[in-house]
Amino acid sequence: MYLLTDKFYFMAKLRYVYSPMEGGKSALLIMEANNFEKRNIGFLCMKPSIDTRESNDKIHSRLGIEKECLTIYPNYNIYKIIEEIINDKESNNPPLQWLLIDESQFLTSNQVDQLRMLVDKFDINVLCYGLRTDFRTYCFDGSKRLFELADDIEEMKISCSCGRKAIINARFNSNGEIVTNGEQVLIGGEETYRPLCSKCYLEEIKKVALNNMPYANCQG
């Protein structure tokens, strides 16, 4: 436990906030950004280019709110981009103090390393929001590296339809059947993904007689 007077509490950090889909991550990011804007705190919102559900230059929430952002492509060096912004002496914007990144699981491992370097060299707070695992229960490259490098990791809990804690982003086809094979990334919304607990996840697999997922054949 740390007191507000502790030096550690005020240090710049790399933070990762994760939850299954429908956890309200984008809405929370936008609310944080609006709060910084009202207080004239320098911030920049970002999201990976792979998130094509809406326009490239905005972060959207299911609540209907949105925020302008910088799109990050896989070949972008985030460290160099932010370094240029920090060193721009002619800018009229307040000094950059926060980076807010949505869908952070889609960052490359190298880009997460760059975020770590930004925190340590420029004392910028980096707040990442994203998923922990894909529909097959494996970490994305970005989320895996964030778990390895983040100072703080926070889980936003969400309930499965049965009432248990949801931990899996289950993918479903147009017939409502669970899907356990395919490309790791398939952009979709509520019609494609549902947050499930592990018990309901296995029950859905049994319905379609699929046994090729991790631990699906394990019987207690």
Which segments in the chain show pLDDT lower than 50?
1-9, 210-211
Q: Among all residues, which ones are annotated catalytic?
A: 103
Q: What is the pTM of this model?
A: 0.84
pLDDT, tens digit, 9 for 90 and up, residues 151-160 = 999 999 999 9
Cα 91 to Cα 42, 86, 95, 96, 180: the distances in Å are: 12, 9, 9, 11, 49
The confidence score (pLDDT) of residue 219 equals 55
The confidence score (pLDDT) of residue 21 equals 87
The confidence score (pLDDT) of residue 160 equals 93
- Architecture in CATH of 10-157: 3-Layer(aba) Sandwich (3.40)
The confidence score (pLDDT) of residue 63 equals 77
Q: Strands across the sheet with 193-196, in order?
A: 178-179, 168-172, 193-196
Cβ atoms of 99 and 125 within 8 Å: the answer is yes
- Provide the token pair at 67: 């925020």
* Separation of alpha carbons 93 and 40, rounded Å: 9
The confidence score (pLDDT) of residue 4 equals 39
The confidence score (pLDDT) of residue 91 equals 79
- Provide the token pair at 64: 């209907």
pLDDT, tens digit, 9 for 90 and up, residues 85-129 = 999 877 778 899 999 999 999 999 999 999 999 999 999 999 999
- Provide the token pair at 21: 């889909």
Compute how many other C-beta atoms are within 10 angstroms of the C-beta atom of residue 88. 11
Contacts 24+ apart (CB under 8 A), 87-92: none
Cβ atoms of 131 and 20 within 8 Å: the answer is yes
* Separation of alpha carbons 137 and 76, rounded Å: 27
